[in-house]
Amino acid sequence: MSSPYIKQIGLYKSSIPLKESFIISLGRLDFAENIIVVIHDSTGRKGFGEASPFRTIHGETIETCFSVGGDLSEILKGKNPLEINECSILMDKFIFGNTSIKSAINIALHDLAAQHAGLPLYKFLGAKQNRVLQTDYTVSLGPIEKMAEDAQRIVEAGFQVIKVKLGEGKEQDLARMKAIREKVGMDIPIRIDANQGWQSFEALEILEAMQKFSIQHCEEPIARRAYRDLPDLRLKSPIPIMADETCFDEHDAEKLIELKACDSFNIKLGKSSGISKALKIVQKAEAVNMPLQIGGFLESRLGFTAAAHVALCCKEIPFIDFDTPLMFIKDNVLGGIAYGKNGLISVPDKPGLGAEFSEEYLNSLDGMQFYG
């Protein structure tokens, strides 16, 4: 039997309004502006992927993803979709970076490969359904009173872990955390994320002051270019440090481990160019017994379904951050992960990703292009 080949690749621009603005120290978002990738192979199967570019993190936008995605589609036409590593190498040889659009293509290739194997993606990757995946829910950066009220609503909705966006400086951020703890009490776990918002000279002082609020960890406290300041900060901080924007791929992970710069990594498929390199980060972390968080950007449930399959591959995965699809005004995904009581996540057992977009939704989108 001849090998399958990539017959056509479709790119679609998807813009979904959020229920309310999502604000972090790096900017404000009112829409989930994503790229959907659909790879058709010669057997009639379709693989789905999704990219959620974040210009201040990736340096990509929906427009650059659409453009570069077209170039990558041209070089992948006719290639064997089951040779995922070879396809990834081709993309990296063609253009540096552009991890967001590469991630969508890499996810779609994995979807196809798992379908050909007749296995759910997590089984194709060698994992089992033996992990509890329970998402936190994020409090967006904003006025103190609103953040405290949002935290209270999250608790009332049944979520058992809160993530709080910070990064505007000691006085404001401490006031935010004080108000939030007064609303929700001290028992519910809270994680904080400064998104590079603090200066290196002030970060330790802020973290020391935050200790009384019982914080699980702090993501990316300082600018990613200041990563050489992380080892000293991590050594002195009473709160564990998690690398996010500082860790895109396995090379970043190796560097941060060697420097002893952080206590954990936040893996996002949109940073790692997809599943292939995300699993290499997992291997690096597990070699030194480092706990992991799996998160994402503003992907729909399709993108987070891919992330959930990867999460099942992790031996130590205490932190799950899969909440952003719940912020969408409309959910256009068929199948995929399901959200249960208390933020528990269930992963589909169908062959492949187990998630897709309907033809009706794809055909309703203004921006689309086909290659092949």
The residues that are catalytic are 165, 193, 219, 244, 268
- Alpha carbon distances (Å) from 72 to 40, 92, 101, 114, 239: 15, 10, 9, 22, 42
Q: What are the DSSP calls for 150-217, one per residue?
A: HHHHHHHTT-S-EEEE--S-HHHHHHHHHHHHHHH-SSS-EEEE-TT-B-HHHHHHHHHHHGGG-EEE
Q: What is d(CA 147, CA 167) in angstroms, rounded to the nearest whole number?
A: 14
Question: What are the distances in angstroms from CA 9 to CA 62, 97, 260, 295, 333?
Answer: 17, 21, 42, 26, 19
Two tokens, residue 73: 């589609």
Computed over its alpha carbons, how large is the radius of gyration of the chain?
A: 20
Which contiguous run of DSSP H or E holds residue 94?
A: helix 84-94
